[in-house]
Amino acid sequence: MITLFFAAGDDNWNQYEGPLILALEKAKISATILTKSPANPETVDYIIYAPVAGALTDFTPYRNVRAVLSLWAGVEKLAPNKTLRQPLCRMVDPGLTEGMVEYVVGHVLRQHLGIDRYIINPNHDWVQKCPPLARERSVGIMGLGTLGTAVTTALRALNFNLSAWGRSPKPDLEMPYFHGADGLEALLSRSEILVTLLPDTPDTRGLLNAQTIAYLPYGAALINPGRGTVIDDVALLAALDQGALSHATLDVFHQEPLPKTHRFWQHPKVTVTPHIAADTRPLTSSRVVVENIRRDQAGLALLHQVDLARGY
Ligand code: NAP
């Protein structure tokens, strides 16, 4: 019998109780699940975690925990926690990935087809300007991890002219791929639509600033469902005001909820979505959590382990 501490809040517990118990039963794992801080933290084997209000911040007493299993894909709130000495696994949930693919494809098509022009047409203008084909539209993806890769697969199926950028080299890709600081200008300068799917780490903060935004083609559109800290907001607003960028669709922000007075809310060239691009789905993510517990109990390596030094 193992002991799990569900440290992800009551609201999450209401959604996860059924799927988690079902997944444990299917994996034939007997577990006691605690939903409140235990009197004796040393009895806990695994912590299932989400950074909700009042979330656990001191992992020191959980001496016997074998892994902290995050329900979130982004772990920027956990990775820098110096009390965390246990392995940390982030969420790679097929349901979440599917949601992100749908969000990105929808917003890329909106920009590519110029859909807004026909939705907001107060003067009933009859301007017959057919959009180019997807094969003639360049889309750049910053961050070719789990989500970036799934997104490129979907956009490739629509024939978009794709390129990508990441931290490490990736040979043998079916598209132009650039990496590291030296490769960023090459990616940006060919991206009429830029999708950012980067984690929040010390190295990604402020990557899109006045200098790098200027590398984008004039009138490019930006879609950011990764993390808000990647963008210098002041530089982005300046680029939109000057017409250098035509639109920004933003799902994530430096501060969330986005303050009601923030210029993004009023800006005619900004679409704000409230961090809804892709949610972790209890049914599929419970299976991921339980699979990691099963693997660990069987002496196998944990999946999706975070490199705490890198922060993702
Ligand atoms: P992932 O698999 O860890 O991929 C991260 C990608 O970013 C990798 O390709 C990595 O490059 C690249 N990267 C990291 N640091 C970099 C740097 N300094 N320079 C260049 N590239 C860098 O993560 P994921 O599952 O795709 O998720 C990406 C992010 O999406 C998450 O961290 C989370 O913040 C965000 N997210 C948002 C939502 C939402 O609803 N808005 C939902 C889920 C996730 P390498 O491949 O070279 O390592």
Fold observed for domain 2-93+280-297: Rossmann fold (3.40.50)
Q: Which of 90, 227, 247, 287 is catalytic?
A: 227
Q: Is the C-beta atom of 182 inside 6 A of ligand 1?
A: no
250 band by pLDDT with thresholds 50, 70 and 90: very high
Q: Is the C-beta atom of 277 inside 6 A of ligand 1?
A: yes
- The predicted model gives 199-210 an average pLDDT of 98
Give me the chain's average pLDDT, please.
97
What's the pLDDT at 222?
99
Q: Is the C-beta atom of 146 inside 6 A of ligand 1?
A: yes
- The predicted model gives 68-86 an average pLDDT of 96
Q: Which residue has the tokens 């003639």?
A: 136
Percent above pLDDT 90 for the chain: 99
Burial (CB count <10 Å: 0-12, 13-18, 19+), residue 243: exposed
What's the pLDDT at 289?
98
Q: pLDDT tens-digit profile of 258-293?
A: 999 999 999 999 999 999 999 999 999 999 999 999
Q: Establish whether 227 is a catalytic residue.
A: yes
User: How close is the Cα of 74 to the center of ligand 1, in Å?
Assistant: 8
Q: Which residue has the tokens 């894909």?
A: 73
Contact 204, 198 (CB under 8 A): yes
Q: Is the C-beta atom of 197 inside 6 A of ligand 1?
A: yes
- The predicted model gives 42-57 an average pLDDT of 95
Domains 2-93+280-297 and 94-272 belong to one CATH topology: yes
- Show me where the domains of the chain are located: 2-93+280-297, 94-272
- The predicted model gives 138-156 an average pLDDT of 98
Fold observed for domain 94-272: Rossmann fold (3.40.50)
What's the pLDDT at 257?
97
Q: Establish whether 117 is a catalytic residue.
A: no
Helix segments in the chain, DSSP class H: 10-26, 94-113, 116-119, 146-157, 180-188, 210-213, 233-242, 263-266, 282-297
